[in-house]
Chain A
């Protein structure tokens, strides 16, 4: 590192490394769009699969993934937000708060397949839900809970103290203050984090593999106790388990593209939403 030349070489090296990462990301996205887009048409998106997934559309997988994402957020959102409100507004430094925080960090690090084992043991077998949408949603909800808690707490903490003090000074109770003066301003931020959570839930495969996903099920679910197909699992099945993998390659690309578009779309919404909020609220 003594000479200018060697310093420049290192600077160039890390620049090349950075752009190599960018290149790989771009090539993943472009390759999937390039090969998937020609296959996608209205029929593909809105009809049932035929002959074990070799032909036909992917409607049940799309419906399955969307209902899983929706069910997951219905469970995880209230739980996550309430926990965040407790941590940011009520919690005092002490053993309970420390334990809750340790639990959240631990949950964030648990491998998704272990969530699958947990869901299988608790929801599918112990509570007798069987492999079903509800078992899958509850499992996924446990998995994305830390994402929602952490981002919601951040949103709550970014509301200035003066807003709370003003309300309390006027004689409002603690909950009135939170409900009327803190939540309205932090709600957009809390929702952003939740949207990111939905994206994660929609793309996960390992937990639903053990708790809900059907290999091939060409009909739509009727209740939350039904099994469903799901996009990520369908892609996995087509790409590795299908008897003629090369032949259904176009369908694999198309399924990958639909999944990618769904997940990146959800994330894009979250990012745009965040930019919008930052412009709207400046303290």
Chain B
């Protein structure tokens, strides 16, 4: 009887620990949402729709999120434009064209990139990429959206390569065999049979990569110049949502409007990455079933 009681207790403890993940997610929404909620009551959410982010001012502070959101979108869009061809290209090369030993070296080597801390990548950007951009485009400063995008692409590429490569490799050999038997060349088979068959996995990989890009903080903060302006030019300095929180949180008074506005930025980020993640999971499920 004692053994049965013990079994039940262990089961209960494990059940309780498994619930902590759910509690943490709820906790994140509650504690980030709580401050954002206060902001919604006092200055009101309308304040966030403005096009000027000027949290410290002698006349009137304004907390318009538009420049921050467009900043994040610009950097993310540019990073995605770089990530997609490089990520898919490398994944196709590694899975279909590389020799076996070459593959065994290339994949882990690219995955090493994922483990380099973002602040180190940001530092590299600062000392190498920023001066390079400045001199090659003749700009007054190299701290631009483009610099941020290149670094973010570097951070997204390992995710995209790794997951896409798995997806491409899990395409059944019979598909390729059928295509080759019908007289298609190797490259035709890759681009018209293998890659389309692996597409849900590749799309999921890109989504997860973008999720990482939107949420990245340190590297972006170090190289984008952090000017809160609305622009579509890759050669302008921008300020992303993540960098705003990281840079300003140290200087705000607890409970001030500015403090709460930063939590509002956090909620926007949270919802954006949450949405992307859900979509990515839908695609991943599709490719695992297919």
Contact = CB atoms under 8 A, between A and B. Distances in A.
Nearest to A111: B215
A174 B126 CA distance: 56
Given A21-B157, A267-B112, A239 B94 contact: no
Contact of B18 (A1, A31, A86): A86
B218 A236 contact: yes
Interface in A131-148: 142, 145-146
Nearest to B15: A86
B119 to A, nearest CB: 4
Given A21-B90, A113-B242, A205-B218, A82 B18 contact: yes
B86 interface: yes
Given A82-B13, A106-B25, A236-B218, A7 B187 contact: yes
Contact of A111 (B22, B120, B222, B269): B269
A17 B216 CA distance: 24
Contacts of B274: 106, 109-110
Most B CB atoms within 10 A — which of A18, A79, A116, A149? A18
B211 interface: yes
Nearest to A83: B18
B141 interface: no
A199 interface: yes
A271 B108 contact: yes
Given A17-B93, A111-B270, A232-B117, A83 B20 contact: yes
Contact of B263 (A90, A117, A263): A117
Contact of A114 (B28, B154, B218): B28
B75 interface: no
Contact of B32 (A11, A108, A114, A260): A114
Interface string B107-141: 01110110111111111101110000000000000
B217 A83 contact: no
A22 B110 contact: yes
Interface string B183-207: 0011110010000000000000000
A2 to B, nearest CB: 9
A105 B117 contact: no
A202 B255 CA distance: 30
A170 interface: no
Contacts of A13: 89
Contact of A32 (B124, B208, B217, B250): B124
B97 interface: yes
A187 interface: no
B21 A107 contact: yes
Interface stretch (B3-11, B39-47, B174-182): B3-11
Size class of the A contact interface (CB-based, 8 Å): 35 or more
Contacts of B191: 1
Contacts of B100: none
B101 interface: no
Interface stretch (A53-61, A120-128, A219-227): A120-128
Contacts of A109: 208, 211, 215, 273-274, 276-277
A83 B124 contact: no
A117 B270 CA distance: 11
A112 B90 CA distance: 27
A114 B20 contact: no
A37 interface: no
Contacts of A28: 116, 120-121, 124
Contact of B222 (A106, A121, A196, A239): A239
Contact of B117 (A10, A111, A203, A239): A203
Given A20-B86, A83-B17, A236-B122, 7 more contacts: A29-B116, A117-B31, A196-B115, A206-B242, A232-B119, A232-B120, A259-B119
Interface of A: 1, 4, 7, 10-11, 13-15, 17-18, 20-22, 24-25, 27-29, 31-32, 78-79, 82-83, 85-87, 90-91, 99-100, 103-118, 120-122, 125-126, 142, 145-146, 149, 173-175, 196, 199-200, 202-206, 209-210, 232-233, 235-236, 239-240, 249, 252, 256, 259-260, 263-264, 267, 271
Nearest 5 A-B pairs (CB), nearest first?
A111-B215, A203-B117, A121-B31, A109-B277, A82-B17
6 contacts: A86-B14, A114-B269, A114-B270, A196-B115, A203-B115, A205-B118
